[in-house]
């Protein structure tokens, strides 16, 4: 019984963002009550069987393209044909905002209406796991994660406090997109993209087209300066990581951005925005600006490959590894399938998750949504290893900056401060100091929990 709607998010959204943490104290209290108090209205589970004798499995997802609508219709029909005693009830969240989707999911838990199986950002899953609202993955799921994840980030993204709570379906990080025609016009070799920060600045300077007063009208390198705050933070974290820095300590109790690497990453932004005037807050950047020729280089996730090929089929573009200062390392994130601990149909929910992630099914999902496969068996296919653009992403080292509660809120704070810096409203030292202060305040519950457990 499909409940998939037609309100589809645009390509700039994506299931690949990291989302917000559970910020509302009221929602957190209700969620905790659902776990601790059997009489709190959270045991309103569906009947074991429907009148027709079938077992209902409620699946809650955020879909971002018509191809994914078609995929879930197909998956539902194929699975029910093979399992006539199961009724897969897929519901698409009717909206385009990742945060709205996550709020809706939290309210489902708070109201005792949590889905059996759902698709969720790893940082939000960390909150749910901490509250005891997720079912630990069964051994067969853990084995799939341990033996077939595409890389270490995909393997660990569903683990919180040492327990595996799901299986990753979407794992993303960034690489450098560049316009090969712009390279040729600037006298640069389109088969030799920049490999270091110095080269990136040199190339970007040559690629920039400026007015007589020096303001850019074509950005040689478009930085993420505004928009979704978590995404703004994550793009900057790629520079922090490539300068040898860390975003948080291993327990998620404090941020580590106020460091030499943090200063280096901000200084790179200052060089691009203020000193060399390679980019400007007034310019439309990102994939739209790149597709329309107003941007020569920018950092973005792999789904943009398919988006550019569809919307700008004549664009000659390449994809390259993240230029390094100390190393080449991208910030990344993941979405996973998880099962509610309160579900009375856990076994059936996990069985459908296994079906969705088996090679013959998952390959359709990945291809239809321009998703970088999270499983090694699908990622090793010639459509990925034989394509130089996809191969760059498969070879690009990446790190998830979070994986613990409250990280989404901390990243939103960081993104807001990066925006203030990009607009010239804060200097580097003040920005790092204020962001550190406010991010640590957001992470305070993690710190208090560790202290209560007797950790140093």
> pLDDT-based confidence at 391, cuts 50/70/90?
very high
Q: Quick check: is 19 in a domain?
A: no
Q: What are phi and psi of 347, to 5 degrees?
A: -60, -45
Give the total number of structural domains in the chain: 2
Residue 380: other Cβ atoms inside 10 A: 12
Same domain, yes or no, for 352 and 271? no
Last residue of a domain, one of 399, 419, 443: 399
pLDDT, one tens digit per residue, over 142-195 is 999 999 999 999 999 999 999 999 999 999 999 999 999 999 999 999 999 999
Residue 198 lies in domain:
175-331+405-452
Q: Quick check: is 76 in a domain?
A: yes
With vertex at residue 118, the alpha carbon angle to CA 113 and CA 119, rounded to the nearest 5 degrees, is 140
pLDDT, one tens digit per residue, over 241-263 is 999 999 999 889 999 999 999 99
Using alpha carbons, list the distances in angstroms from residue 361 to 334, 367, 394: 19, 10, 21
Using a pLDDT cut of 90, give the percent of the chain over it.
76
| CA gyration radius, the chain | 22
Q: Quick check: is 17 in a domain?
A: no
pLDDT, one tens digit per residue, over 361-387 is 999 999 877 789 999 999 999 999 999
> pLDDT-based confidence at 106, cuts 50/70/90?
confident
Tokens of 235: 């793009």
Q: Quick check: is 56 in a domain?
A: yes
Rounded to an integer, what is the distance from CA 49 to the centroid of its chain?
Answer: 36
According to DSSP, the residues that pair with 121 across neighbouring strands are 335
Residues with Cβ within 8 Å of 332's Cβ and at least 6 positions away in sequence, in order, are 153, 171, 172, 173, 174, 398, 399, 400
> pLDDT-based confidence at 100, cuts 50/70/90?
confident
**CATH classification of the domain holding 110:** 3.40.190.10
Same domain, yes or no, for 127 and 244? no
Same domain, yes or no, for 141 and 275? no
Same domain, yes or no, for 90 and 42? yes
> pLDDT-based confidence at 132, cuts 50/70/90?
very high
Same domain, yes or no, for 352 and 241? no
Residue 39: other Cβ atoms inside 10 A: 7
Same domain, yes or no, for 292 and 376? no
> pLDDT-based confidence at 95, cuts 50/70/90?
low
Q: Quick check: is 5 in a domain?
A: no
Q: What are phi and psi of 13, to 5 degrees?
A: -80, -90
Q: Quick check: is 18 in a domain?
A: no
Q: Quick check: is 255 in a domain?
A: yes
With vertex at residue 43, the alpha carbon angle to CA 39 and CA 45, rounded to the nearest 5 degrees, is 160
Residue 292: other Cβ atoms inside 10 A: 12
pLDDT, one tens digit per residue, over 425-439 is 999 999 999 999 999
pLDDT, one tens digit per residue, over 253-291 is 999 999 999 999 999 999 999 999 999 999 988 899 999
Q: Quick check: is 106 in a domain?
A: yes
pLDDT, one tens digit per residue, over 327-353 is 999 999 999 999 999 999 999 999 999
Same domain, yes or no, for 46 and 141? yes
With vertex at residue 209, the alpha carbon angle to CA 204 and CA 215, rounded to the nearest 5 degrees, is 100
Average pLDDT over residues 83-104: 83
Same domain, yes or no, for 234 and 137? no
Rounded-to-integer distance, Cα 97 and Cα 288, Å:
19
Same domain, yes or no, for 142 and 260? no
Last residue of a domain, one of 364, 383, 399: 399
Same domain, yes or no, for 244 and 193? yes
Same domain, yes or no, for 189 and 71? no
- Looking up tokens 């920039």, which residue turns up? 208
Same domain, yes or no, for 354 and 365? yes
Give the count of alpha carbons within 13 A of 244, CB side only.
Answer: 7
Rounded-to-integer distance, Cα 35 and Cα 213, Å:
62
């Amino acid at each position: 019984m499909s409940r998939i709607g037609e309100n589809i998010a645009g390509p700039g959204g994506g299931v690949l963002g990291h989302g917000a943490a559970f910020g509302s104290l009221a929602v957190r209290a209700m969620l905790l009550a659902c776990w601790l108090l059997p009489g709190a209205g959270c045991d309103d589970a569906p009947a074991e069987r429907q009148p027709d004798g079938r077992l209902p499995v409620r699946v809650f997802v955020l879909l971002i393209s018509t191809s994914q609508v078609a995929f879930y219709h197909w998956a539902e029909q194929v699975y029910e044909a093979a399992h006539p005693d199961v009724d897969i009830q897929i519901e698409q969240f009717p909206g385009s905002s990742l945060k709205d989707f996550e709020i809706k999911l939290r309210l489902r838990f708070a109201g005792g209406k949590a889905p059996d199986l759902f698709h969720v950002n790893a940082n939000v899953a960390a909150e749910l796991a901490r509250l005891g609202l997720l079912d630990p993955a069964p051994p067969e799921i853990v084995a799939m994660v341990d033996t077939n994840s595409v890389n270490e980030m995909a393997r660990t993204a569903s683990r919180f406090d040492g327990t595996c709570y799901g299986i990753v379906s979407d794992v993303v990080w960034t690489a450098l997109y560049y316009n090969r025609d712009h390279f040729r016009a600037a006298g640069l070799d389109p088969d030799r993209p920049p490999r270091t920060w110095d080269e990136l600045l040199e190339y970007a300077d040559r690629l920039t087209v400026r007015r007589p007063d020096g303001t850019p009208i074509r950005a040689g390198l478009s930085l993420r300066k505004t928009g979704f705050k978590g995404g703004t933070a994550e793009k900057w974290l790629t520079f922090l990581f490539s300068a040898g820095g860390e975003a948080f300590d291993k327990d998620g109790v404090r941020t580590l951005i106020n460091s030499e690497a943090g200063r280096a990453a901000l200084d790179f932004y200052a060089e691009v925005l203020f000193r060399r005037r390679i980019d400007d807050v007034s310019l439309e950047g990102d994939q739209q600006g790149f597709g329309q020729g107003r941007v020569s280089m920018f950092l973005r996730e792999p789904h943009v490959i398919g988006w550019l090929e569809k919307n700008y089929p004549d664009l000659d573009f390449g994809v390259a590894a993240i230029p390094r200062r100390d190393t080449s390392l991208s910030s990344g994130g993941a979405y996973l399938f998880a099962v509610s601990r309160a579900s009375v149909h856990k076994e059936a929910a996990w069985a459908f998750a296994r079906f969705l992630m088996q090679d013959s099914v998952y390959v359709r999902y990945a291809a239809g949504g321009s998703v970088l496969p999270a499983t090694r068996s699908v990622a090793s296919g010639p459509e990925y290893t034989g394509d130089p653009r996809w191969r760059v992403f498969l070879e690009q080292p990446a790190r998830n900056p979070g994986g613990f509660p409250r990280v989404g809120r901390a990243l939103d704070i960081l993104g807001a401060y990066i925006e203030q810096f990009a607009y010239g409203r804060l200097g580097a030292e003040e920005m790092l100091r204020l962001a550190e202060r406010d991010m640590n305040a957001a992470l305070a519950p993690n710190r208090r929990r560790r202290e209560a457990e007797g950790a140093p």
